[in-house]
């Protein structure tokens, strides 16, 4: 049985599929449509405080991708992972925060969960989310 898709916060779909590729929308750390953590990441924050939020955003992206699979199909490989971090100026640990997402994807998909990755610091994200994750996946 498929897990429910993350609830869109606007006029878009959680994921699109074309052939053997699935592209997700950017997913924030929402559970049942509610952010589990909000606010800008501060220079003085302990990154571990954001682990659950990053993992929730990663889970939402993977759930949206998996919901595009047909019976008997699976995710063959994450091709691309983009992690946006809503951080104050001067923050430089985007890659370390993105590691929380990579760890989650590896737990779920093994070596297939390791994809090319970008970790990007931004001035703000929708709903004041601390992170947003978008993936591109190949289907087998």
- Per-residue pLDDT tens digits for 58-87: 999 999 999 999 999 999 999 999 999 999
Of 7-11, 84-88, 130-134, the least confident: 7-11
Name the residue range of residue 119's domain.
15-139
Q: Residues of the chain with pLDDT > 70: what percent?
A: 99
Number of separate domains in the chain: 1
In sequence order, which ranges of 50-116 are alpha helices (DSSP H)?
51-66, 94-109
Q: What is the pLDDT of residue 139?
A: 98
**Full-prediction pTM beyond 0.85?**
yes
User: pLDDT band for position 6 (50/70/90)?
Assistant: confident
User: Which pair of tokens denotes residue 61?
Assistant: 């992206």
Q: Does residue 9 form part of some domain?
A: no
Secondary structure class of 64 (helix, strand, coil): helix
Secondary structure class of 93 (helix, strand, coil): coil
CATH number (domain holding residue 51): 3.30.1330.40
CB crowding 77-86: b at 16 or more within 10 Å, else e: ebeebbbbbb
Among 8, 13, 132, smallest CA distance to 68 is for 13
Q: Does residue 1 form part of some domain?
A: no
């Amino acid at each position: 049985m498929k897990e429910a898709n993350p609830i869109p916060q606007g006029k878009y779909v959680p994921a699109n599929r074309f052939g053997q590729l699935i592209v997700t929308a950017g997913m924030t750390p929402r559970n049942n449509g509610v952010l589990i953590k909000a606010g800008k990441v501060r220079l003085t924050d302990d990154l571990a405080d954001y682990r659950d939020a990053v993992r929730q955003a990663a889970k939402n992206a993977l759930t949206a991708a998996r919901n595009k699979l047909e019976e008997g199909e699976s995710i063959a490989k994450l091709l691309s992972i983009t992690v946006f971090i809503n951080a104050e100026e001067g923050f430089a640990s985007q890659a370390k925060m993105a590691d929380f997402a990579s760890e989650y994807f590896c737990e779920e998909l093994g070596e297939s969960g390791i994809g090319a990755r970008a970790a990007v610091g931004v001035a703000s994200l929708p709903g004041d989310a601390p992170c947003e994750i978008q993936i591109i996946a190949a289907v087998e």
